[in-house]
Amino acid sequence: MRIKNICCIGAGYVGGPTMSVIAFKCPEIKITVVDSSPEKIKAWNGPIDKLPVYEPGLSEIVKKVRGRNLFFSNNIKDSIQQAQMIFVAVNTPTRTSGKGAGMAADLKNVESCALDIAKYSNNNKIIVEKSTLPVRTAEKIKEILIKENSHVHFEILSNPEFLAEGTAIQDLFKSDRILIGGDPTPKGRKAIKALVEIYTRWVPKGKILTTNIWSSELSKLASNAMLAQRISSINSLSSLCQKTGAKINELSKAIGLDHRIGPHFLEPSVGFGGSCFKKDILNLVYLCQYYGLYEVAEYWNQVVLINDHKIKDFASRIVNKFSNDLSKIEIIILGWAFKANTNDSRESPSIYVAEQLYLANASLSIYDPLVEKDKVINDIKTYWKKSKNFKKIVTDISVLGNQKFDIKSYDVCVILTEWDEFKEIDFKGKVVFDGRNLLLKVPNKNYEYYSL
Q: How far is the CB of 112 from ligand UDX (least distance, A)?
A: 4
| Residue placing its CB nearer to ligand UDX in the complex, 12 or 188 | 12
Q: How far apart are CA 403 and CA 415, in angstroms?
A: 17
Q: How far apart are CA 422 and CA 199, in angstroms?
A: 38
Q: How far apart are CA 416 and CA 422, in angstroms?
A: 10
Query: 87 forms bridges with which residues in the sheet?
Result: 8, 128
State the alpha helices, DSSP H only, in 53-161.
58-65, 76-82, 108-120, 137-148
Q: How far is the CB of 59 from ligand UDX (least distance, A)?
A: 17
Q: How far is the CB of 300 from ligand UDX (least distance, A)?
A: 16
- Contact set with ligand UDX (CB under 6 A): 9-15, 35-37, 40, 89-92, 109, 112-113, 130-132, 161-165, 224, 227, 231, 265-267, 269, 272-277, 338-339
| Residue placing its CB nearer to ligand UDX in the complex, 132 or 363 | 132
Q: Are 449 and 443 in contact (CB under 8 A)?
A: no
Q: How far apart are CA 184 and CA 157, in angstroms?
A: 11
Q: Is 396 exposed, middle or buried (0-12, 13-18, 19+ CB in 10 A)?
A: middle
Minimal CB distance to ligand UDX: which residue? Answer: 12
Per DSSP, the three-state class of 50 is helix
Q: How far is the CB of 152 from ligand UDX (least distance, A)?
A: 21
| Residue placing its CB nearer to ligand UDX in the complex, 38 or 98 | 38
| Residue placing its CB nearer to ligand UDX in the complex, 251 or 394 | 251
DSSP string computed for 292-322? T-HHHHHHHHHHHHHHHHHHHHHHHHHHHHT
Contact partners, residue 311, CB within 8 Å, separation at least 6: 270, 271, 349, 352, 353
Q: How far is the CB of 349 from ligand UDX (least distance, A)?
A: 7
Which residue, among 422, 416, 359, 349, has the nearest Cα to 392 in the 3D structure? 359
Residue 250: count of CB within 10 angstroms of its CB: 10
| Residue placing its CB nearer to ligand UDX in the complex, 347 or 430 | 347
| Residue placing its CB nearer to ligand UDX in the complex, 131 or 149 | 131
Catalytic residue numbers read 276
Ramachandran class of 227: left when φ > 0, alpha when ψ lies in -120 to 50, beta otherwise: alpha
Q: How far is the CB of 41 from ligand UDX (least distance, A)?
A: 9
CA 381 remoteness from chain centre = 20
Q: How far is the CB of 363 from ligand UDX (least distance, A)?
A: 26
| Residue placing its CB nearer to ligand UDX in the complex, 164 or 400 | 164
* Half-sphere exposure in the Cβ direction for 356 (13 Å, CA): 18
| Residue placing its CB nearer to ligand UDX in the complex, 315 or 326 | 315
Q: How far is the CB of 439 from ligand UDX (least distance, A)?
A: 16
DSSP string computed for 214-242? HHHHHHHHHHHHHHHHHHHHHHHHHHHHH
